[in-house]
Structure 1
Amino acid sequence: MHQVLVDNNSSANILYYPTFQQIGIGRERLVPTNAPLVGFGGTRVFPFGVVTLAVTIGDYPQQITKNVTFLVVDYSSAYNAIIGWPTLNSWKAITSTYHLMIKFLTNYGVGELQGDQVAARKCYIAMMEIDDHFQAMSIEEHRMATEPVERLEDIPLDDSRPE
């Protein structure tokens, strides 16, 4: 698959619905989810569901294959998918945006993926022309604020310097 955005700031892996359809996976493989994605504009996007796919990166023999869980969304994009930081961490990958490169460990040494600067530029320009895009998305987390159990006490470590 080409035109995959590697986004160190995204907490989610995204697979765009047209790509999902082109892969030829039936909708019955989608697992429902109610975790909305939140884009830059604060608008919530509700995925069709999640799907786990085996993803192979690198060239033989310096390659790895891992299961990656994608949120499938129906949105316009110049990209086919977005790979976020949780997956990059699971791959133990090092990314360089300057070099458009990812390096990762394999059983046979260091594997690498090299991006295409011309294709990256075309995708970037195409994304800027799409009004309703949400390039950086994160899974919305519901956190409850907790109250302190007790009041904290300041204890000076050095009486000559109480600050």
Structure 2
Amino acid sequence: MDGGSGLNIMYVKTLDEMGIDRTRLHPTQAPFHGIVPRKQVMPLGQIDLPITFGDQFNYRIETLTFEVVGFPGTFHAISRRPCYVKFMVVPKYTYLKLKVPGPHGVITVGTFQRVYECEVECCGHATTIVTFGKLAALKEEVAEETLDAKKSTGSFELTEGSKKVLVDPSSSEGKTVCIGTTLSSE
């Protein structure tokens, strides 16, 4: 859960794994920012789903609206400020738990072990994204350098103030090099 944003996010893979037909999505025309760095995200649609916190003896069910996105993530869904408000959640960041008022007492959500596993998976995912981004930038840089090299080594035209000189006058290969005739003796 993340109390810093105004959207509940669900990944389309999660929706598919839950067996929910995509025709249940409500169309949306509002892109959002902040999920993918420096990029705008257009959700595939919105869906209202009943969410339950607790166990069979002490539980709360509320309907939340999720923005369904088509890119991969390390979580199934990300619940944010609208979820906190609807469930009256009190986050306990020190203990990595959420406290939710229930009909028979406080419902505690989260275990340190599960949060740790999610964080490790999320860091691995972030590393992959960063590495992929660096590789894409490197590929683009190499492509530009290759293009520049092709420009400079393509067809070399003799310019004014230069002349061709044999690399090895005693050789029969006839390899030449072009040198400037207007250079100073220094």
Return the TM-score normalized by structure 2.
0.64
Distance 1:128 1:121 in 2: 10
SS at match of 2:122: helix
What is the Cα deviation at residue 37 of structure 1? 1.4
Q: Give identity over the alignment, percent.
A: 27
Q: Write out the 4+ residue segments of structure 1 that deviate beyond 6 Å after TM superposition.
A: none
Task: Tell whether 2:90 aligns with 1:97.
Answer: no
- Tell me which of 107, 116, 119 is aligned to 1:118: 116
The answer to which structure, 1 or 2, has the higher relative contact order (CA under 8 A, 6+ apart) is: 1
The 8 Å contact of residues 15 and 71 in structure 1, kept in 2 or not, is answered as yes
Give the AA of the match of 2:2: D
Query: Rg: which structure is higher?
Result: 2
Structure number with higher helix proportion? 2
Trace 1:35-114 onto structure 2 (pairs within 5 A). Answer: 35-39=30-34, 41-114=37-110
Q: Who is 2:181 aligned against?
A: none
What is the Cα deviation at residue 79 of structure 1? 0.8
Distance 2:73 2:120 in 1: 12
Give the AA of the match of 1:19: T
Return the TM-score normalized by structure 1.
0.72
What is the Cα deviation at residue 78 of structure 1? 0.7
The 8 Å contact of residues 52 and 68 in structure 1, kept in 2 or not, is answered as yes
Q: Who is 2:18 aligned against?
A: 23
The 8 Å contact of residues 74 and 118 in structure 2, kept in 1 or not, is answered as no
RMSD: 1.6
Distance 1:130 1:50 in 2: 28
Give the AA of the match of 1:98: T
Distance 1:130 1:34 in 2: 30
SS at match of 1:86: helix
Q: How many residues align?
A: 127
What is the Cα deviation at residue 106 of structure 1? 1.1
Give the AA of the match of 1:48: L
The 8 Å contact of residues 77 and 130 in structure 1, kept in 2 or not, is answered as no
Structure 1, unpaired ranges of 5+: 1-5, 133-163
What is the Cα deviation at residue 130 of structure 1? 4.0
